[in-house]
Amino acid sequence: MFAENRLHPSDLIWPLFVTEGSNVEEPIASLPGVSRWSVDGIVGCARQARDAGIPCLALFPNTQPERRSDDGREALNPDNLMCRAIRAIKDSVPGIGILTDVALDPYTAHGQDGLVDDDGYILNDETIEILVGQSLNQAAAGADIIAPSDMMDGRVGIIRGALESHGHINVQIMAYAAKYASAFYGPFRDAVGSRGLLKGDKKGYQMDPANAEEALREVALDIAEGADSVMVKPGMPYLDIIRAVKDRFEIPVFAYQVSGEYAMIEAAAATGAGDRDALVMESLLAFKRAGCSGILTYHALHAARLMH
């Protein structure tokens, strides 16, 4: 009766990894308990999510190596893995929302989120042109929420304008507004196959973990450009940022409890350092207490079932 915060399955967004083929399930070694699924398997995951009361999925493709290029143009292919997965889910599991990541790292031969110059430095404005095409491609396939995770400056406003002028007036934008250059993304990069390709780091465009004021500036810009909601990422090491954003702005705030955080909890559970279910529920509740409207978590299905 006196609890100030509660968890509900409707707080959760479940990230899923898609791979080519049919009837394929590929476990991801650094993310125990999480697999890449072919499109048919993703539809099965969507059905389980809907039945558990999860309102939204986040999709990420493991693009075949021969379809990766320096300019990531596979992101614009209307029949790419991502678009096929979106359409299959929308056909078979109507009613579940789909959030799609906008960034080029699953499609580039160098694993960076955008185009790079000869020195490996990101080309902000040239990248945005492709991100707009990627957003329109995902919206046309049926995405409900476009989530730019690339951290280019100015992309939210330009994507919003393009969505409007192409008739996608009801597609939302959830901006990865404060995304840190984090060591917690390793297992994700294994999952989408970009880890081995990546040279250098993403510190040229992702945020410095030392900075909090900068996060507020990034959030203010994304809201001014038309974001419907904002995200802080990673999650648990950045609860202070979530609280600061929530106190400053009247907008839904989401946290991405990222792959490395998931792996830490699983490692702790595997060694007996803590009880899995309790670790999962406590960490998710902390996001609600910090001010989140919802959480992207690889534990979503497990947690939603625990809540029933």
Residues that bind ligand PBG (CB under 6 A): 101, 103, 105, 113, 149-150, 185, 188-189, 202, 258-259
**Closest CB to ligand PBG among 127 and 149?**
149
241 in Cβ contact with 177 (< 8 Å): no
233 is catalytic: yes
Q: Computed over its alpha carbons, how large is the radius of gyration of the chain?
A: 18
The active-site residue, picked from 90, 202, 233, 246, is 233
267 in Cβ contact with 191 (< 8 Å): no
DSSP one-letter string for 238-278: GHHHHHHHHHH--S-EEEEE-HHHHHHHHHHHHHTSS-HHH
**C-beta of 258: minimal distance to ligand PBG in Å?**
3
**C-beta of 103: minimal distance to ligand PBG in Å?**
4
**Closest CB to ligand PBG among 41 and 106?**
106
**Closest CB to ligand PBG among 225 and 261?**
261
288 is catalytic: no
236 in Cβ contact with 283 (< 8 Å): yes
Residue nearest to ligand PBG (CB): 188
**Closest CB to ligand PBG among 185 and 287?**
185
**C-beta of 122: minimal distance to ligand PBG in Å?**
12
Mode of pairing for the β-strands spanning 35-38 and 25-27: antiparallel
- Evaluated on CA atoms 140, 299, 307, 42, the torsion sign reads positive
**C-beta of 185: minimal distance to ligand PBG in Å?**
4
Active site residues: 179, 233
